[in-house]
């Protein structure tokens, strides 16, 4: 019975254009290999092709599930879309704050100011920083603009507000939530991490917002230069 439901589900989703592509892909990869589980499939050009479309599918899945295209306003009052304008094809940092937050936010934001300094002109060119307000009803573009000026936030780092419902959707989509529902509703317990990612390459990681600024900057370096090597430091320091 359950199996039948699942087939029905597949049929149902098959009507949507995106899911249709997904389905044909799934069928292709199901036949790509009939070797025994646990053994390697024979290599083939077909596998290479499916790697590429699988990759596109995975990217779309991440977008659909985590990167909603909600409308937002920047501190300059400019209207932007989250996925289309802020994330797509970009290397980014994402964090949440609010202007009147006096516990963790000042520490994290001051830290990110250091990170922006460390990264110099890469910010705004190779990498974009975004901070989203958790109190969109009081953090208007004007408030955000004053905040940016107070913290000496430079171009390439944008503060954003949105309709509360949209912002809440965004917060949940990018995983800035607490598994304890009570804590999740306590704004003073809000997640202080900085999510970083390279959207086209589907590399996503997280730093604590209060981590060393140098370390956050280095982590962002992996997104810009994913083939970097780090062996040996800190100073191959053992003195034998």
Partner 1 sequence: MYYNVFGEKVSRRRFKEMCNAAKNRRELIAAGLTSRRDLFKMGLLTAGGMLVAKSGLSARVWGQQSFPAPASSGSNQSPGSFNLCVPGNQTASPNTTPFLDPLPIMPNPVTVAASTLNPMPTICPNTGSGPDGTEVRAACHQAPELNLGMFPFPPPRVYKFTQEQFTVRQTSDQRLPAQTIWGFHDQGNVKVNGPISPGPTYAANYGTPQMTRNINRLPSVNQKNNTGFGFPSVTTHLHNGHTPSESDGNPCDFYPAGNFCDQYYPEVLAGFNSTNPPTGDINESMSTLWYHDHRVDFTAQNTYKGLVGFHLLFNQFDTGNENTGFHLPTYPDFDIPLLFADKIYDPTTGQLVFDLFNLDGILGDKFLVNGVIQPFLQVQPRRYRFRLLDTGPSRFYEFFLTQLNNTNATNPFWVIANDGNLLPNPVQVNSVRIGVAERVDIIIDFSNFAGQTIYLENRLNQINGMGPVPPSGFTSGQFECTGPDSHIQSDILPAGKGNLLLQFQVSSKSVKDGSVNPATNPTFYSLPDTTATPRITRTFKFDRLNGQWSINGQFMTCDHFRFLVQQNSVENWILFNATGDWTHPVHIHLEEHQILSRNRVAPSLVEKSRKDVTQLHPNERVLLFFRFRDWLGKYPIHCHNVVHEDHAMMGIWNVVASGADTVLVP
| 69 touches partner 1 by CB under 8 A | no
Q: Which of 190, 223, 192, 230 is nearest to 205 (CA)?
A: 223
Q: Which of 209, 194, 202 is nearest to 223 (CA)?
A: 202
| 100 touches partner 1 by CB under 8 A | no
| 113 touches partner 1 by CB under 8 A | no
Among 86, 161, 192, 199, interactor with partner 1 by CB under 8 A: 192
Among 73, 116, 176, 220, interactor with partner 1 by CB under 8 A: 176
Residues 201-220 that bind partner 1 (CB under 8 A): 201-212, 214-215, 218-219
Among 140, 166, 169, 221, interactor with partner 1 by CB under 8 A: 169
Which DSSP symbol is given to 127?
A: B
| 234 touches partner 1 by CB under 8 A | yes
CB 160 within 8 A of CB 144: yes
Element (H, E) at 4: helix 2-14
Nearest-approach distance from CB 78 to partner 1, in angstroms: 25
| 136 touches partner 1 by CB under 8 A | no
Q: Classify 175 in phi/psi space as left (phi over 0), alpha (psi -120 to 50) or beta.
A: left
Structure tokens at 47: 């596998």
Cα separation, 143 vs 129, in Å, equals 18
| 195 touches partner 1 by CB under 8 A | yes
Degrees (nearest 5) of the Cα angle 196, 65, 161? 60
Q: Which stretch binds partner 1 (CB under 8 A): 5-13, 115-123, 126-134, 139-147?
A: 5-13
Closer residue to partner 1, CB minimum distance, 30 or 102: 30
- Count, residues near partner 1 per rule CB under 8 A: 99
């Amino acid at each position: 019975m359950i199996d039948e439901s699942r087939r029905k589900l597949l049929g149902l989703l098959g009507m949507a254009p995106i899911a249709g592509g997904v389905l044909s892909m799934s069928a292709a990869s199901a036949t790509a290999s009939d070797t025994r589980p646990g053994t390697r499939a024979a290599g083939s050009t077909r596998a290479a092709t499916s790697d590429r479309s699988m990759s596109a599918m995975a990217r779309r899945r991440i977008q659909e599930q985590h990167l909603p295209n909600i409308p937002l306003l920047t501190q300059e009052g400019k209207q932007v879309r989250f996925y289309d304008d802020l994330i797509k094809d970009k290397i980014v940092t994402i964090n949440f704050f609010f202007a009147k937050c006096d516990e963790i936010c000042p520490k994290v934001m001051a830290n990110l100011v250091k990170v922006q300094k460390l990264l110099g002109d890469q910010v705004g060119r190779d990498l974009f920083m975004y901070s989203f307000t958790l109190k969109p009803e009081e953090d208007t573009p004007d408030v955000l603009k004053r905040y940016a000026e107070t913290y000496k936030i430079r171009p390439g780092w944008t503060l954003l507000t949105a309709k509360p419902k949209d912002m809440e959707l965004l917060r949940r989509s990018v995983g800035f939530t607490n598994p304890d529902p009570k804590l999740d509703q306590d704004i003073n317990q809000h997640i202080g991490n900085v999510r970083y990612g390279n959207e086209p390459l589907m590399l996503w990681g997280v730093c604590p917002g209060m981590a060393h600024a140098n370390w956050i900057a280095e982590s962002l370096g992996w997104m810009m230069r994913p083939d970097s090597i780090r062996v040996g430091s800190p100073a191959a320091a053992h003195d034998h």
